[in-house]
Structure 1
């Protein structure tokens, strides 16, 4: 009797032991499978990020090349043609104080204004200018163009950040400022615009504020989620591409403030992207 009880006990114990092993094996397999899926998801996410960064980098390079060609075309052809027309108007034989002279003088002034605006546009588009005069001076130039419309009060508050950022980073920051100023002109209905550049320890801070009608940032980001083109989402990606962060605060009828931070001691644009490719 005791022998039968021992046999039954051994069978039950062995069955329980095997069942525990089986359950443990299944649990381990599930954990490994879950980890594998997480690793695969993370790898796919990283691949998507690399692809988007490379795509954005290519788009920015193409854009700068196009801007460079446009700048040269405006300077070499359109600007010179308008200058020739303006000079030709000076040689038109008309009597002093006549109606024709007044008309020609007004036309010459309009042409001269167009030539000045085209020259400013050419400078604004040319990448090399940002490298030559620096980020701060380039931004001041853009604000001066805005101020000359007599529609905006502009102000700047800059600290010296020369040699703290590489040239590619300065160019991308400048294009971001241009895009935000363009958005202000198109949508903000503002009368005051302020841009500041400051340094906080090892961080460069770029801020753009206006007193316009404001908007709901989350709603706009959601609206632009499936849209192509240069919206706030792509501006955020640009900031991320150069190792920076992008923050926007806006309230309806209370203006908008945009803040971009860039580390001073960051890697150069090229090193950052080479590391991503590894």
Structure 2
């Protein structure tokens, strides 16, 4: 018993300087200092007491005052020891959480960036479509048409506020044609009203089924590119071609016959926010985008390489 008490005291004395150097911030750290000090004192005095009594002729290890006195002292030592271990575990757990704070902050920052991109893409495309419908109507809109337009606005905005654009998975494996239907329904009406013909050439099946994140990203990218075509290109024809090759999991070409633009100039200036948003989205899913543009022909080519 004396050897156990002495060994424990030496271990606690060895760790005492380390405990003193710990930060005093937080109730767990302060409690750890107090409990550790009490535990150390108990074991030191216990060792001294045992060493004193062991040289007395009348010493009997089982007669330390009384059986109850011995039991209470052992219970007190055990309680302080368990409390010390519990506080030490709490402190270690707190250290792990503190070490993970930068990662958690980074995740929250990325979520805010993603939300801002959704806000820009969805609200931007919604407003452009709505304004175009209003300005290109050849006759006055009746109440029912206005209600339908505002219902579309409400639906699109709810996708941002409920994070539906990020969190809603596709319920089943979709073919390219099935996947493209919501986009076609959203834009073909406005294309027709603006006199823009749209041609969709989609492969029957995916070479490799994209993930939900990839499918949602492609939807958002197409919506943003269509919005830009409506706003800036003065195009009369849009072609959407989805296919794959021996190197690429999928290749998506979006081509229009509009006035063209200088991609490098647009990326460098403030009015290139939409294209920068697209580029950021595609980088997240490890996908490339190349832009070829001249008067009468602009091609956005989006390529996803096969995984090795």
Q: What's the TM-score, normalizing by structure 1?
A: 0.52
Considering Cα pairs closer than 8 Å and 6+ residues apart, tell me whether 1 or 2 has the greater RCO. Answer: 1
Is residue 190 of structure 2 the alignment partner of residue 151 of structure 1? no
Is residue 285 of structure 2 the alignment partner of residue 246 of structure 1? no
Q: Which of 232, 240, 249 is the matching residue for 2:275?
A: 232
State the 1:169 CA deviation.
Answer: 1.3
1:169 maps to which residue? 214
Is residue 248 of structure 2 the alignment partner of residue 207 of structure 1? no
Alignment CA distance shift 1:142-1:265 (3 Å): farther
1:110 maps to which residue? 142
Q: Which structure would you say has the larger Rg? A: 2
Aligned-partner SS, 1:237 = helix
1:261 maps to which residue? 303
Is residue 91 of structure 2 the alignment partner of residue 59 of structure 1? no
State the 1:53 CA deviation.
Answer: 9.6
Aligned-partner SS, 1:164 = coil
State the 1:220 CA deviation.
Answer: 1.8
Which has the larger displacement, 257-266 or 127-136?
Answer: 127-136
RMSD of equivalent CA atoms? 3.7
Alignment CA distance shift 1:171-1:216 (3 Å): same
Alignment CA distance shift 1:175-1:206 (3 Å): same
Alignment CA distance shift 1:55-1:210 (3 Å): farther
Alignment CA distance shift 1:247-1:110 (3 Å): same
Alignment CA distance shift 1:57-1:129 (3 Å): closer
Q: Which runs of 5+ in 1 are unaligned?
A: 1-50, 71-105, 267-278
Equivalences, count: 175
Q: Which of 256, 259, 266 is the matching residue for 1:220?
A: 266
Aligned-partner SS, 2:170 = helix
C-alpha separation in 2, matches of 1:243 and 1:152: 32
State the 1:172 CA deviation.
Answer: 1.3
Alignment CA distance shift 1:189-1:229 (3 Å): closer
Q: Which residues in structure 2 correspond to 1:38-77 (within 5 Å)?
A: 55=109, 58-61=112-115, 64=118
Alignment CA distance shift 1:156-1:66 (3 Å): closer
Is residue 173 of structure 2 the alignment partner of residue 131 of structure 1? no
Alignment CA distance shift 1:254-1:147 (3 Å): closer
Say whether the 8 Å CA contact 2:238–2:256 is kept in structure 1: yes
State the 1:243 CA deviation.
Answer: 0.6
C-alpha separation in 2, matches of 1:220 and 1:65: 21
Alignment CA distance shift 1:215-1:63 (3 Å): closer
Say whether the 8 Å CA contact 1:247–1:260 is kept in structure 2: yes
Q: What's the TM-score, normalizing by structure 2?
A: 0.47
Q: Which runs of 5+ in 2 are unaligned?
A: 1-104, 124-138
